[in-house]
Amino acid sequence: MINMVQFDETNKDEQFATLRKQEEEDFLQIMSGKYDIPYINLATVPIDASALEIIKEETARDAMMGPFQLTGKKVRIAIFSPIDPKTKEALSYLEGRGYIVELYLASHASLEKIWNQYKDLSGSTKSEAGLIDISGESMKNLVDHFKTLSDVQKELKNVFESKDSRNVSKIFSAILAGAIGIGASDIHIEPTENEIRLRYRMDGVLHDVGILPLSIYHLFSSRIKLLSGLKLNIGTESQDGRFSIKISDLEIEIRVSVIPSAYGEGIVMRLLNPQSLNITLEDLGMSPRLLAIMEREIQKPHGMILNTGPTGSGKTTTLYVFMKKVYSEEIKMMTIEDPIEYHLKGVSQTQVDSDKGYTFLEGLRAAVRQDPDVIMIGEIRDGETAKIAINASLTGHMVFSTLHTNTAAGTIPRLIDLGVTPKIIGSSLTVALAQRLARKLCLVCRKEDAPNAREKKIIDEVALVIKEKTGTEVQTKKIWRAVGCDKCNGTGYRGRIGIFEAILMDAKIEKLLDGIPSEREVREAAKKQETLNMREDGIEKILSGITSFDEVERTIDLEAE
């Protein structure tokens, strides 16, 4: 009986302690409104070790405060009371050193979590938040270890089932290293009713990697938010951020998008690996005739080249390759982008910021005043930007930009729809491009085959047009199919190639600009230019064994127009 009484009393003490902690959290949420300082519970939030280094543990404890995230000179600090004199003194000290302080109200329990991290500080490596410095051999070896999707799936399964299953850092490193190792372009984390799906996008197609344990999902998402400079206490709004990961001498920028969903926040991380830009104009996949045309056109001192197509069709990458091709120390090159995807050596790049009123229009106006020779505009979205871009091309500048239309022929009607005078288009636009991306067949496992009846009908029809336009006769007896092997992660494809079409401004096209031409009229007038449209270019790549019939048909419409 005595033991039972003692047990009950002990249980009551624990209950009272838990109740007091909850009351404190509730109280701080109320005070948050009074002081207009956001409340935060750091129970599931990882602490940034580099933030702890800006202030000593003794000072932090004495001032009832704790830094928990550092991005450049911006620091997030948890405090218990904004009116405490010692807190004010410590904050003034940090601001005097140039830090931009963002305050959060937090309980004693949250502050204790920060203070307890100081004991691990001596063993950590200092790095800026927003930049994970993984220059050690261990991470490089981890990236090199992942050769196939199967390697990543096995490694993550082992981590999830091991004693490290709650080690967020280890899981985070494995997910990132796996994506980098096998060349994924995006990492998708998608909460569903019963699980958290993890998928990689490779060559434009999503592949399942594994199921992220629910037990670490919130810790994982908080870590990503911290690294990306996003707000931790907001889960009902979309947020965008970015951070960089450094492996040896390679710095990979990762763009993060967080969006609320029915079962949590969906996260997409896009990996911008500078090595993916190590391609030449010849690598894009243009036919020899189109390649010769583009090499000539991009070297002209003035004019405008517009690249069109849907999101994710490789338009911006093509423009980057054009910029690299024409780069010279004797000319000034500028870009206006949203956002800057890759940094180009010797090129002045500026990023739009709509929240501050710095749009493509304002950026272009400012760029023209900088006396550039070549200007790249990430996208023409409105009439004013289109008019200034065209004016720039008429006043001695070479302008590269993108436009959202489905075909090259749709470029002219789209510009007119934006309010551009038709007559001016003839004097400014030199080439309208359109492109898509198709996966290339794996050369290790592709299989030769004969086309079926439907495929042969389309191939024979297009082959005649190719011969008429180029004078070249293509073989029509065989095509190749995707199979799948270890080298291509079982997909049958490795890498991607562009499928292009182009319309050049010539006398026939210019004559149409006496009125307001339709897309069909532009396409008809361009038929004598001897350049292939996307349907013909796609069939030519199928017959060359570069890609498959199924893949091209997934990308463009191969049926007769």
CATH number for the domain including 200? 3.30.450.90
From the list 270, 276, 300, the residue with the least C-alpha distance to 505 is: 300
Q: What pLDDT was estimated at residue 216?
A: 82
Give yes or no: residues 51 and 92 share one domain: yes
CA atoms within a 13 Å half-sphere pointing along the CA-CB vector of 102: 18
Give yes or no: residues 180 and 256 share one domain: yes
Give yes or no: residues 305 and 429 share one domain: yes
- Quickly count: other Cβ atoms within 10 Å of residue 98's Cβ: 7
Domain finish residue from 273, 296, 325: 273
Q: Which helix (H) or strand (E) holds 147?
A: none
At residue 194's C-alpha, the angle toward residues 263 and 223, to 5°, is: 60
Say how far apart CA 560 and CA 557 lie, in whole Å.
Answer: 8
In 478-526, which ranges are E strands? Answer: 479-481, 493-504
From the list 555, 29, 540, 30, the residue with the least C-alpha distance to 288 is: 540
Give yes or no: residues 265 and 301 share one domain: no
% residues pLDDT > 90 (the chain): 58
Q: Is residue 476 part of a domain?
A: no
At residue 419's C-alpha, the angle toward residues 415 and 422, to 5°, is: 60
* 8 A C-beta contact, residue 304 and residue 389: yes
Extract the tokens encoding 510. Answer: 């210019």
* 8 A C-beta contact, residue 435 and residue 318: yes
Give yes or no: residues 170 and 257 share one domain: yes
Give yes or no: residues 368 and 517 share one domain: yes
Q: One-letter amino acid identity for 311?
A: T
Question: CB-based contacts of 200: which residues, under 8 Å, 6+ apart?
Answer: 149, 152, 178, 179, 182, 184, 186, 187, 188, 206, 207, 209
Q: Is residue 479 part of a domain?
A: no
* 8 A C-beta contact, residue 93 and residue 75: no
- What is the tally of structural domains in the chain? 3
Q: Is residue 549 part of a domain?
A: no
Q: What pLDDT was estimated at residue 15?
A: 58
Rg (CA), the chain: 29
In 284-344, which ranges are E strands? Answer: 303-308, 333-337
Q: Is residue 159 part of a domain?
A: yes
Chain length of the chain: 561
Q: Which residue has the tokens 């670490």?
A: 216
Residue 161's alpha-carbon distances to 99, 198, 212, 217, in angstroms, are: 42, 16, 11, 15
Q: Is residue 544 part of a domain?
A: no
Q: Is 164 exposed, middle or buried (0-12, 13-18, 19+ CB in 10 A)?
A: middle
Q: Which residue has the tokens 């009713």?
A: 193
Residue 500 dihedral angles phi and psi, to the nearest 5°:
-120, 160
Domain finish residue from 250, 273, 296: 273
Say how far apart CA 41 and CA 39 lie, in whole Å.
Answer: 7
Q: Is residue 558 part of a domain?
A: no
The DSSP secondary-structure symbol of 407 reads S
Q: Per-residue DSSP letters for 343-368?
A: PPTT-EEEE-BGGGTB-HHHHHHHHH
Q: What pLDDT was estimated at residue 120?
A: 58
Q: What pLDDT was estimated at residue 136?
A: 44
Say how far apart CA 308 and CA 407 lie, in whole Å.
Answer: 7
Extract the tokens encoding 491. Answer: 């997909």
From the list 215, 216, 209, the residue with the least C-alpha distance to 154 is: 209
Q: Is residue 475 part of a domain?
A: no
Give yes or no: residues 378 and 304 share one domain: yes
Q: Per-residue DSSP letters for 21-90?
A: HHHHHHHHHHHHHHHT--B--GGGPPP-HHHHTTS-HHHHHHTTEEEEEEETTEEEEEES-TT-HHHHHH
Q: What pLDDT was estimated at residue 462?
A: 95
Question: CB-based contacts of 127: which residues, under 8 Å, 6+ apart?
Answer: 50, 133
Give yes or no: residues 294 and 263 share one domain: no
Give yes or no: residues 229 and 307 share one domain: no
Say how far apart CA 217 and CA 214 lie, in whole Å.
Answer: 5
Long-range contacts of 161-170 (CB under 8 A, 24+ apart): 165/213, 165/215, 165/216, 166/215, 166/216, 166/219, 168/46, 168/216, 168/219, 168/220, 168/223, 169/223
Say how far apart CA 435 and CA 290 lie, in whole Å.
Answer: 12
Extract the tokens encoding 539. Answer: 């069939």
Q: Is residue 10 part of a domain?
A: no
pTM for this structure? 0.73
Neighbour order of strands in the sheet with 100-105: 65-71, 74-79, 100-105
**Which residues form the domain of 233?**
132-273
Q: What pLDDT was estimated at residue 14?
A: 59
Give yes or no: residues 331 and 383 share one domain: yes
Give yes or no: residues 389 and 519 share one domain: yes
Looking up residue 429, the CATH number of its domain turns out to be 3.40.50.300
Q: Write the Ramachandran bin of 246: left for phi over 0, alpha for psi from -120 to 50, otherwise beta.
A: beta
Looking up residue 89, the CATH number of its domain turns out to be 3.30.300.160
Give yes or no: residues 311 and 267 share one domain: no
Say how far apart CA 261 and CA 78 lie, in whole Å.
Answer: 28
pLDDT 10s per residue in the chain (561 long)? Answer: 444 444 344 455 555 566 677 888 888 888 888 889 999 998 878 787 778 878 888 899 999 999 998 887 789 999 999 999 999 999 988 888 778 899 999 999 999 999 988 875 543 333 344 555 444 455 677 788 888 999 999 988 888 877 665 677 778 888 999 999 999 999 999 998 888 999 999 999 999 999 988 878 888 888 888 888 888 778 888 999 888 777 777 778 889 999 998 888 999 999 988 888 889 999 999 999 999 999 999 999 999 999 999 988 999 999 999 999 999 999 999 999 988 888 888 899 888 887 777 888 888 988 888 899 999 999 999 999 999 999 999 999 999 999 999 999 999 999 999 999 999 999 999 999 999 999 999 999 999 999 999 999 999 999 999 999 888 899 999 999 999 998 898 999 999 999 999 999 999 999 999 999 999 999 999 988 989 999 999 999 999 999 999 999 999 999 876
From the list 395, 400, 393, the residue with the least C-alpha distance to 322 is: 400
Q: What pLDDT was estimated at residue 122?
A: 42
Domain finish residue from 128, 146, 170: 128
